[in-house]
Every structure is written in structure tokens, then in C-alpha cells.
Amino acid sequence: MESSAPPRTGENDWAAAVAAVRSLRADDVVLLACHVNPDGDALGSMLGTAIGLRRLGLRKVVASFPGPLDVPEPFRALPGLDLLVAADEAPRDPALMLCFDAASAGRLGALAERMGPTTIVLDHHASNTRFGGINLVDPTAAATSVVADQLLARLGVPLDRDIAECLYVALATDTGSFRFEMTTPSVHEFAARLLAAGVRPAEIARRVFDSRPFGAVRLYGDVLARAELEPTAAGGHGLVWTYATLDDLDRHQQRPYVLEALIDAVRAADEADVACLVKQVSQAEWAVSMRSKGAVDVSRVAVALGGGGHRLAAGFTGYGLITEVIHAIRQTLDAAVVEDQG
């Protein structure tokens, strides 16, 4: 028996979020947080909103994410980076906290301890657990930046170039440069507004998508060379997977962020609907990225294994040997397909 659908974000939720922000005084501390190992949507949505709150006259706005304060190279030119603080330096009793692109409180690490009763959650993951006091969650949105834009508009914050650049990076990364299924006419309309605010798309594309250290190029070759194709997996829809170890990173003197883009090369295999990239985090811990071309809902797999995401893009943290992680994926994929066909 399927569980009931989560409640939809309605006008009362938007009104509560606007009221929570409007009730702040200029010197109140506001903390914004996004998920561990932040991607472009998490960082861009968070920083764009942080800049917008500063534009409202709130002077003590800070942003953070769990783990080391290490911004991936493609995002180091984002406006608003000066608002970032390390997680252990984040204020412990903010007047208001806003969380971005995190489907559950667990994705915020120790920053979840800063949450208060009026914490606002902005997200677009269907698997979001509605863990905030106010939940602005739209699973139909192509990126969390779409939700952030709506909040800023309701607060009366005009788009300037800095805010627009943050939101554009967020939108472009989560739509795969406007290639993925969630790229609707409204997405292009949103992008057009951001361009009109002064965003330079060619410059952002070069910085975010087309620039990699040479060591990363060599690393990609090693990881792709060990890719495995399983045509009968996922109920016959096919699975392609590979993995990257800490030794791979050390050997090529690369930081973990360079692996994030590699899933796109893996998913290009025509014979498989599902693609998995398994990245070693520690001796027995692996960050798993999953993609689907449409035949399989990988968010169901990720949720079953402790993670979350969307129908076409999801992830989770696996533990044990690489063979054990892949076995768990394989079994859960088959079960999900059987349920879908039943």
C-alpha cells in the first residue's frame, strides 16, 4: 500500500515564510544552510537568497554547509562567498534559519542542530521529508533556485546581477545546461529574466562546465576504464556503473569535487537506462550518484537505501565494500522495476 502524497506548498506556506522574514530586525542573525558537498543548485540558491536578504537591510546574514569550508573550484567566482562561514562557526541560535536543496535534516549534518521552530526549508526533491517549520517544497521545479526566486519575488527583492548569477548557476547545473527533462518553457523564461539582469552565460558555462584540471582528465580515464555494463539489470533496462577511490584522487592529486561531473559521461552509455557513479569517501563509505533516462525511478532506489532525489537523478551514502554497495543497488533496482510493472 502506497503512502499518501506529501502536502503541497500553498499560499499559507508562502505567506508564513514572507511573514517570518518580514518580522526580522536589521540586527537579527539569519543563518542559511545547504547540504553537505554542495552542488551548484545548493550553493547558488543559498547565496542568491543570502544576497537578497542583505538587500532587504538584514545586516547579519551568514551561510554555511557541513564539512570543511571548501568551495569547489567551478563555484569560486560566485557572488556572496564572503557570507560563508565554517559550520562550526555558524551561529547556534539564529533568529531565523533557511535550508536549501536538502531533502532531510540529515543532509545538513551538525547544522541541523541550529534549526528552530520557524526554520524555512526551500527544496525541489520529491523525497523531501518536510522537516522545517515552514516548507517551501516544489517537486515540479527544475531546481531549488526556482523556489528561491519565488521567495525573493514575494519579498519584493529585485533581481540584480549578483543574485541573478547565483540563481543562474543553480538553474544551469540542475538542468544539465538545460538538457534534462525538467527543462520546461517556464525554465527558459526564468533563465531569460536572469540573462536580462546581466548574467553572462558563456562565461558561466566555461567556468562551471568546461574547465577541468588536466589531472582530472587523466582521473576520468582511469575511472571510466573500469566501467561495467549489466544489460539485464533493472528489469532488463540496463545498468552501467563505475567507481572512484581515494587512491585515484591521490594518484592524480585531485579534490573530490572533480568527480561530480563524471556521472554525465557514465550515463551516456546507450545500452543502460540507469547509471551509477560510486565515489569513495572513507575506507568503507561511498557517495553514490544515480541517473535514469526515464524507464526507472532512481529516487525510489535512493530512498530505499537511505538517500533521496528525483525520478531521474538521486543519490545516497553506501557502506561496506564496493561489491556490497553495487549488490544493494542491483537488488533494489530490480525490486523497484518489479513493483512498477506489477
Indicate the pLDDT class of residue 3, thresholds 50, 70 and 90: very low
Helix crossing, 185-196 with 161-174: angle to 10°? 150
Whether 340 has a pLDDT exceeding 90, the answer reads no
- Mean pLDDT within 210-219: 94
β-pair partners for 259 = none
Strand ranges inside the chain, DSSP E? 29-34, 60-64, 96-100, 120-123, 134-137, 228-230, 239-244, 274-282, 285-292, 308-309, 313-319
- pLDDT score of 301: 93
Q: For 77-126, what is each residue's pLDDT tens digit?
A: 999 999 999 999 999 999 999 999 998 998 899 999 999 999 999 999 98
Q: Is the pLDDT of residue 175 over 70?
A: yes
pLDDT of residue 180: 85
What is the pLDDT, as a whole number, of residue 336? Answer: 67
Instruction: Give pLDDT tens digits for 270-317.
Output: 999 999 999 999 999 999 999 999 899 998 999 899 888 888 888 899
> Quick check: 2 pLDDT over 60?
no
What per-residue confidence (pLDDT) applies to 181? Answer: 82
What is the rounded average pLDDT of the residues 167-195?
94
Share of the chain above pLDDT 70, in %: 96
Which pTM does this prediction carry?
0.89
Average pLDDT score over residue span 37-53: 96
Alpha helices by DSSP H, 155-268: 161-174, 185-196, 201-208, 214-225, 246-251, 262-266
Per-residue pLDDT tens digits for 186-196: 999 999 999 99
Please tell me what DSSP assigns to residue 84.
B
Is residue 127 scored above 90 in pLDDT? Answer: no
pLDDT band at 341 (very low <50, low <70, confident <90, very high): very low
Confidence band of 36 (pLDDT split at 50, 70, 90): confident
Structural domains of the chain sorted by starting position, each given as residue range(s) with its CATH number in brackets: 11-208 (3.90.1640.10), 214-341 (3.10.310.30)
**Confidence at residue 334, expressed as pLDDT on a 0 to 100 scale:** 80
Mean pLDDT of 216-221: 97
Confidence of residue 6 (pLDDT cuts 50, 70, 90): low
